[in-house]
């Protein structure tokens, strides 16, 4: 099955919500049920790309955006191409979008401002999804971290540490570990490599990675102001969770019928472009640059 790998680099905080809850956070982000990792659901990804493609590539207007082929008022070839790629309520499209899985998560660092963390489980899934097996077995203890260079490490010699938020980890260094960081970096699209410094990538244990992605997202307090009194309306305080800016997700994009032409049309439309995903567009949330790498 033909496929491309898309990478999503969040330029601003992202909120793809899971609805309201009775928890401390009123509007949490969507997470995978089995890992608790933040996720970009495929419905959110496809919906945005479909809408943008229709407006900018097929030149539909917002007022006359067709939901079905028979409703389309553009040239027949334009209409047929759009619905062949994306489908409608009665007919599935040719292009398949999988959920966006997390690859790199930014965490505040004592040195270097922040670092991107990942873990063996994330890398194992990434290796499987992109069709490569170049990370090998990564053995890392709970109090250890794999990092290279001096941009985020403190100490010297064999006693180097990274300090992330309130936790410190001893740097585990050998040639194999350096190779893993190099492999992560070289498997990013070339243009994304310019934004992601390999010296700021850290591999933590699976449990520590889960702790950070669960407990160190952004949580913003939101209020609604009474325009008459100029004060907060009663009961109008709520808390909203956000995936922090600089997070990197990835997903696979397939052609169900092996039509490379359709896949390339989507690839050429989204590669190296910024899209807005999730809610709170007018607050600047969810602006994300998409990069494509051949699968």
Is pLDDT above 90 for 33? yes
Q: Which of 154-158, 217-221, 281-285, 288-292 has the lowest mean pLDDT?
A: 154-158
Contact criterion met (CB below 8 Å) for 25 and 219: yes
Is pLDDT above 80 for 78? yes
The predicted pLDDT at position 21 comes to 62
> Rounded CA gap, 124 and 130, in Å?
10
DSSP letter (8 states) at residue 276: E
Mean pLDDT of 18-34: 82
The predicted pLDDT at position 54 comes to 96
Residue 122's pLDDT band (cuts 50, 70, 90): very high
Mean pLDDT of 85-113: 95
Residue 114's pLDDT band (cuts 50, 70, 90): very high
Domain boundaries, the chain: 1-16+42-98+245-295, 30-37+103-216
Is pLDDT above 70 for 212? yes
Contact criterion met (CB below 8 Å) for 278 and 48: no
Contact criterion met (CB below 8 Å) for 124 and 211: no
Residue percentage of the chain with pLDDT more than 90: 75
pTM for the whole structure: 0.93
For 267-285, the pLDDT digits (tens) are: 999 999 999 999 999 999 9
Is pLDDT above 60 for 107? yes
> Rounded CA gap, 71 and 241, in Å?
39
Contact criterion met (CB below 8 Å) for 60 and 66: yes
Nearest in space to 195 (alpha carbons), one of 116, 83, 110, 119: 116
Name 7's bridge partners. Answer: 250, 291
> Rounded CA gap, 38 and 243, in Å?
7
121: tokens are 């489980």
Number of residues that this document lists for the chain: 295
Mean pLDDT of the chain: 92
């Amino acid at each position: 099955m033909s496929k491309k790998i898309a990478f999503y680099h969040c330029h601003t905080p992202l909120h793809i919500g899971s609805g309201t809850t009775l928890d401390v956070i009123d509007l949490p982000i969507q997470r995978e049920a089995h890992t608790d990792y933040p996720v970009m659901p495929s419905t959110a990804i496809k919906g945005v790309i479909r809408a943008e493609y229709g407006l900018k590539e097929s030149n539909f207007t917002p007022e006359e955006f067709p939901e079905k082929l028979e409703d389309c008022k553009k040239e027949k070839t334009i209409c047929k191409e759009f619905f062949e790629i994306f489908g409608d309520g009665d007919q599935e499209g040719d292009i398949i979008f999988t959920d966006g899985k997390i690859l790199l998560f930014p965490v505040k660092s004592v040195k270097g401002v922040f670092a991107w963390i990942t873990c063996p489980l994330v890398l194992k899934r990434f290796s499987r999804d992109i069709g490569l097996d170049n990370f090998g077995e990564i053995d890392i203890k709970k109090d250890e971290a794999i990092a290279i260079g001096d941009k985020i490490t403190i100490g010297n010699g064999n006693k180097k540490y990274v300090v992330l938020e309130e936790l410190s980890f001893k740097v585990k260094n050998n040639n194999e570990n350096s190779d893993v960081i190099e492999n992560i970096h070289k498997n990013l699209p070339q243009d994304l490599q310019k934004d992601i410094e390999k010296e700021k990538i850290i591999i933590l244990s699976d449990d520590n990675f889960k702790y950070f992605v669960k407990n160190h997202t952004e949580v913003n307090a939101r209020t609604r102001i009474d325009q008459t009194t100029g004060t907060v309306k009663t009961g109008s305080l709520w808390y909203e969770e956000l995936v922090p800016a600089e997070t990197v997700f990835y997903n696979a994009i397939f052609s169900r019928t092996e039509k490379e032409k359709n896949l390339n049309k989507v690839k050429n439309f989204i590669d190296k472009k910024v899209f807005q995903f999730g809610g709170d567009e007018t607050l600047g949330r969810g602006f994300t640059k998409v990069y494509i790498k051949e699968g």
